[in-house]
Structure 1
């Protein structure tokens, strides 16, 4: 079943010239595209990652290495599914919802596990997760006025967070353990700074949207 609307087939089940068969077919057939499958894999990795992280009390270097591998795969699929979706026009409603959930689920699981095991202060986890949830809610609040685009700072923040959390998952010692502290410090700073920038963008976007609405209302009023 293709789900092609009758308007696109002229009621005969066959595509008509100029119809929107292509777009409709893509929308209907794209749920199981490669981008969505990678997103699903990332979601399935979350419980597996948690199990690996907490095996044998959570401090066995071997299990931690396997947990790092699962986390790394999740981070890599995060890069590729978005790229594939944009490049090959595989963007779907499912992907729009599931992709950010998968991102926050794997990062949240890693941060909570690390704090639970005492490797990372709880306030760091609270700051990062609070920022991520806050920005997500902010996007929904102002979506009627427009979309807040991903910034370069946001991408740097994601890279810093992924690198820092990955280093904490591994059982590092000596100089590498000290290095991961500073990488996490950079990640926290970027998390706060980019979060504040999103708030600024949301305020500007809302003001512009309200101004446009008032201008449109004034034009309609004068035309009466």
Structure 2
């Protein structure tokens, strides 16, 4: 297993630890929240790092193509679901975000059955950055940043919807050849 794939697996392994620290004492323990935030940031950075290494050293594998986006979805969805429980984000917003991920995964699955690999577009990458930033703000839960955090939630939601529309528009013809 190459280094990028090890980083992807590490990201998945970090998720239960992240959840434990985030949810400890209902998210009220500042020290545990900082630990959760640290784990989340490290996990998010491994996503960037594994992609850079894989492309630079031509270490792109089928395992990485499958697991890297799955690891990202697991990390983001786990965080958002926990943040619902902690009453920091509305379940409807999280449902829209998770639904987008299922729709895109379905499109990619249909495309892969036809031997087509659909790379992430710029809107998807911007969406991911906004999600990571917003989740960090929600984990920190700083009163003086609450207005900014609320704005970021809606920016994240808008980018989620924009990236979904962009993805469908750009890939519909490719996917219609795959039997859709």
Name the TM-score, length of structure 2 as normaliser.
0.92
Seen in structure 2, the aligned counterparts of structure 1 residues 86 and 53 have a Cα distance that, compared at 3 Å, is same
What SS does structure 2 have at the residue aligned with 1:84?
A: helix
| Equivalent in the alignment of 1:67 | 36
> Which ranges in structure 2 are unaligned for 5 or more consecutive residues?
none
Residues 41-52 of structure 1: pairs in structure 2 closer than 5 A: 41-52=10-21
Task: State which of 158, 163, 166 in structure 2 corresponds to 1:197.
Answer: 166
| Equivalent in the alignment of 1:165 | 135
Q: Deviations over 1:191-210 (max 9, x none)?
A: 01110221222322245x48
CA distance in 2, matches of 1:117, 1:84: 36
CA distance in 2, matches of 1:206, 1:168: 36
Seen in structure 2, the aligned counterparts of structure 1 residues 134 and 170 have a Cα distance that, compared at 3 Å, is same
Q: Which moved more, 1:106-115 or 1:59-68?
A: 59-68
CA distance in 1, matches of 2:115, 2:173: 10
Give the paired residue count.
Answer: 177
Q: Deviations over 1:15-67 (max 9, x none)?
A: xxxxxxxxxxxxxxxx1x21111111101110000100111122222211110
Q: Which moved more, 1:59-68 or 1:71-80?
A: 59-68
Greater RCO structure (CA 8 Å; 6+ sep): 2
Q: Which moved more, 1:107-116 or 1:138-147?
A: 138-147
Over aligned residue pairs, what C-alpha RMSD do you find? 1.5
| Equivalent in the alignment of 1:139 | 108
> Which ranges in structure 1 are unaligned for 5 or more consecutive residues?
1-30, 211-224
The 8 Å contact of residues 37 and 139 in structure 2, kept in 1 or not, is answered as: yes
- Which has the higher Rg, Structure 1 or Structure 2? 1
| Equivalent in the alignment of 1:28 | none
Whichever structure has more helix as a proportion of its residues is 2
Name the TM-score, length of structure 1 as normaliser.
0.75
